[in-house]
Amino acid sequence: MKIEEIKKLLPHREPFLFVSEVTKISEKRVEALYHVTGTEYFFPGHFPNYPLMPGVLLVEAMAQTCGILVLTQVPEARGRLTLFLGIDKVRFRQQVRPGDTLKITGELLTLKSNIAKVKGKVSVGEKIACEGELLLGFLDKTK
């Protein structure tokens, strides 16, 4: 799935879109990439002379990727707005620097009413940069 299709699903736009392409998607699992160029808006301030992608944006990349999973694979979520409701068990394990390519994976754990619990992971090469569990809710866009 290329960026044009991603933008049809997610309301996010640059500079706050952290999914470059979706490489695999199935009923309960998604894999995506984000190419960290080094020109992103946050690098001049985080940190000068040692640019790092902020951890909260790694969590956002997981939420966006898992949002794509829910919006395409959960019939009740199709055509709705997916909102990030909560995080649990998040750990940061590896720095993300300009030039890195993030592999972002998501797995649907549970679905209750209009809330999905998902597990996300961000890797750089073979090293895990961030992982955790997220809650995503979906609601009608008109509310």
Tens-place pLDDT, residues 30-75: 999 999 999 999 999 999 999 999 999 999 999 999 999 999 999 9
- Judged against a pLDDT cut of 70, whether residue 127 lies above it is answered with yes
| Catalytic pick among 12, 28, 29, 46 | 46
Mean pLDDT taken over the chain = 96
**Percentage of the chain exceeding pLDDT 70:** 99
User: In terms of CATH, what superfamily is 3-139?
Assistant: Hotdog Thioesterase (3.10.129.10)
pLDDT at 9: 94
Mean pLDDT for 10-24 is: 97
| CA proximity to 121, closest of 109, 100, 97, 103 | 103
- Overall size of the chain counted in residues: 143
Domain boundaries, the chain: 3-139
Is 35 an annotated catalytic residue?
A: no
